């Protein structure tokens, strides 16, 4: 009997040791297989830099800024005019060499301000110089009204041999909401572990009521680049309020006849006890 008990005890210890070894080996394998991530960005006013630093901090990733040799250090109008010329003429502004060895990274986060509906010109230079074939690319951006969707599409055209993953964008006017949104974005896309808010899909659009129209008007009031009337809307619940997806029609403007025409989608958030604010525009 004592011999049988001894055999059972030895077997139990052996199984525990094997199990412990297996778990340790699994953890070590997972650690070795974790993708190596680089966060790189161009920032004109430090807004994109703030997003980049938040992402890198959350991921424990390497980070490096993209720096123009000839900085955009004029006033706002001068910067806009230079950016417009570079985009229209396909000019690639010179940037300082990137210190990071891109070949060592599996995932590259690329951040930028949105200019004229796409990434700022220094990003075009970075894409021209860097070999991102086979990499996973995660775009992130800051903007005045929108541009994540259009700039992501341009990124996919520029890097057909890379895999473009879902990106994150935030209005510069809403930068205080960015840390929480970045945390949710990284968790939702599997970059870090933890609980996150998964939103329901928007239901079908319906004609706006007077109350919903007032919400739209309040959200875009004072923003000079939006002069539109809401036509239809859909809504979904947020943890602390409601999100609206409006389809709106651009209205003609005598003072700015070159303004975009046609329809646009406008996302509006109404947090409990707060005034409506628009978060993104898709033209």
Domain chopping of the chain, boundaries = 35-188, 206-282
Given a contact cutoff of 8 angstroms between Cβ atoms, the answer to whether 170 and 181 are in contact is yes
Q: Which fold has domain 35-188?
A: Rossmann fold (3.40.50)
Closest alpha carbon to 164 in 175, 154, 178: 154
pLDDT of res. 252 = 85
Given a contact cutoff of 8 angstroms between Cβ atoms, the answer to whether 265 and 247 are in contact is yes
Q: Give Dmax (Cα) for the chain.
A: 100
Q: Is 3 helix (H, G, I), strand (E, B) or coil?
A: helix
Torsion (CA) 78, 84, 89, 91 in degrees, nearest 10: 60
DSSP 158-219: H-TTSEEPP-EEEEGGGGGGHHHHHHHHHHHTTSS-S----PPPP---EEPPHHHHHHHHHH
Q: Judging by DSSP bridges, how do beta strands 228-238 and 206-207 pair with one another?
A: antiparallel
pLDDT (tens digit, 0 to 9) for every residue of the chain, 283 residues total?
Answer: 444 444 444 444 444 444 544 555 555 544 557 899 999 999 999 999 999 999 999 999 999 999 999 999 878 889 999 999 999 999 999 999 999 999 999 999 999 999 999 999 999 999 999 999 999 999 999 999 999 999 999 999 999 999 999 999 999 999 999 999 999 999 999 999 999 999 999 999 999 999 999 999 999 999 998 999 999 999 999 999 999 999 999 998 777 767 667 899 999 999 999 999 999 999 9
pLDDT of res. 255 = 72
pLDDT of res. 25 = 57
Classify the C-alpha dihedral 208-211-212-218 as positive or negative: positive
pLDDT of res. 231 = 98
Q: How many CB atoms are located within 10 Å of the residue 272 CB? A: 9
pLDDT of res. 26 = 57
pLDDT of res. 7 = 43
* Whether the model pTM is above 0.95: no
pLDDT of res. 75 = 83
């Amino acid at each position: 009997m004592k011999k049988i008990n001894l055999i059972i005890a030895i077997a139990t210890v052996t199984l525990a040791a094997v199990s412990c070894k297996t778990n340790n080996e699994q953890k070590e394998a997972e650690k070795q297989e974790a993708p190596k991530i680089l966060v790189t960005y161009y920032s004109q006013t430090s807004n994109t830099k703030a997003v980049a630093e938040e992402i890198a901090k959350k991921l424990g990733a390497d980070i490096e800024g993209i720096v123009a040799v000839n900085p955009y250090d004029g006033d706002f109008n001068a910067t806009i005019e230079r950016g417009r010329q570079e985009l229209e003429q396909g000019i690639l502004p010179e940037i300082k060499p990137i210190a990071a060895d891109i070949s060592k990274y599996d995932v590259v986060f690329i951040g930028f301000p949105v200019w004229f509906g796409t990434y700022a010109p220094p990003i075009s230079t970075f894409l021209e110089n860097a070999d991102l074939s086979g990499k996973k690319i995660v775009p992130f951006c800051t903007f005045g009204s929108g541009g994540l969707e259009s700039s992501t599409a341009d990124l996919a055209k520029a890097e057909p041999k890379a895999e473009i993953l879902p990106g994150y964008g935030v209005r510069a006017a809403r930068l205080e909401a960015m840390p929480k949104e970045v945390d949710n974005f990284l968790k939702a896309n599997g970059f870090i572990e933890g609980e996150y808010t998964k939103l329901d899909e928007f239901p079908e659009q319906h004609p706006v009521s007077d109350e919903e129209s007032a919400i739209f008007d309040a959200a875009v009031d004072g923003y000079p680049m939006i002069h539109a009337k809401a036509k239809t809307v859909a809504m979904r619940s947020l943890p602390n309020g409601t999100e609206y997806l409006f389809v709106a029609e651009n209205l003609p403007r005598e003072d700015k006849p070159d303004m975009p025409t046609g329809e646009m989608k406008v996302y509006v958030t109404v947090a409990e006890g707060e005034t409506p604010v628009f978060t993104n525009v898709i033209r």
